[in-house]
């Protein structure tokens, strides 16, 4: 996973270097110039970091996107599952190694589908999609209401959670229907967070949530 995270680290290093240079300049500047430099530093610190740069060339072609949720531990590559091996990424990373899996798109979807179902493990150390299980608390869900998806194509999508559903996988099936109305897909959700409008895509992020031995938390975002 360290090899994977290096691909997305470049921009934050550059931003940190710029901020450090500004701080040094402020400390060394004459008194009359300090106020202007401090103002520039504060405006840079308050400015939201632009779209992160991901070194896609260092990642296998199966990595079709990256998901990040500010304020949580969710910061993961997303791979595309295939019909001939739909659950392969339950057990391997993007380089085909390890046993801890990688978040993956259901083989009946693609990153450009109208409805995109993405599965990820709930790791005991809080990594991968563990924090999506916390969305079963409505307050937490409302507080962490930005989900950013970076597509390999270069497109950046900002999603907002619209509903959360807790299902018992022993009794309920996660059905993917690309023709169903979005309202129909989220009709059984445990609670709603916002209204759906004319959305181009609906995402569903799925992870274990442990209300029962086989519970799943589904965070719908549009």
Instruction: Name the token pair of 111.
Output: 């990153």
Identify the structural domains of the chain with CATH numbers, from first to last: 2-46 (no CATH), 60-221 (2.40.260.10)
Blockwise average pLDDT, block size 10, the chain, 222 residues = 51 34 34 42 41 87 96 95 92 82 95 95 86 96 97 95 88 74 88 86 93 86 96
| Residue 43: predicted pLDDT | 40
- 126: Cα within 13 Å, side-chain hemisphere: 3
Neighbours of 73 (CB within 10 A): 15
> Which candidate, 111, 121, 5, places its Cα nearest to that of 68?
5
| Residue 5: predicted pLDDT | 53
CB 119 within 8 Å of CB 106: yes
CB 131 within 8 Å of CB 218: no
| Residue 10: predicted pLDDT | 45
Between CA 67 and CA 127 the distance in angstroms is 13
| Residue 143: predicted pLDDT | 97
Burial class of residue 2 (count of CB atoms within 10 Å of its CB; 0-12, 13-18, 19+) = exposed
Between CA 156 and CA 178 the distance in angstroms is 22
| Residue 4: predicted pLDDT | 54
CB 86 within 8 Å of CB 176: no
What pTM value is reported for the model? 0.77
Q: Is the dihedral of CA 159, 125, 4, 84 positive or negative?
A: negative
Neighbours of 201 (CB within 10 A): 16
């Amino acid at each position: 996973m360290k090899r994977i995270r290096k691909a997305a680290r470049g921009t934050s290093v550059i931003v940190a270097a710029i901020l450090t240079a500004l701080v040094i300049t402020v400390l060394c500047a004459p008194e009359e110039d300090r106020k202007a430099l401090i103002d520039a530093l504060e405006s840079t610190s308050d400015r939201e970091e632009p779209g992160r740069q991901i070194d896609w060339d260092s990642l296998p072609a199966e990595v079709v996107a990256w998901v990040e949720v500010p304020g949580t531990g969710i910061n993961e590559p997303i791979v595309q599952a295939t019909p001939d091996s739909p659950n392969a990424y339950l057990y391997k990373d993007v380089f085909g190694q390890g046993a801890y899996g990688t978040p993956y798109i259901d083989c009946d979807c693609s990153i450009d589908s109208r409805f995109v179902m993405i599965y990820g493990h709930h790791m005991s150390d809080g990594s991968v999609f563990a924090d999506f299980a916390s969305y079963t608390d409505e307050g937490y869900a409302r507080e962490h209401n930005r989900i950013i998806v970076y597509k390999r194509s270069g497109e950046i999508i900002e999603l907002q959670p619209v509903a959360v559903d807790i299902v018992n996988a022993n009794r309920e099936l996660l059905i993917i229907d690309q023709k169903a109305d979005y309202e129909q897909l989220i009709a059984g959700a445990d609670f709603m967070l916002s209204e759906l409008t004319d959305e181009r895509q609906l995402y569903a992020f799925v992870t274990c949530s442990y209300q029962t031995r086989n519970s799943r938390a589904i965070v719908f975002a549009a």
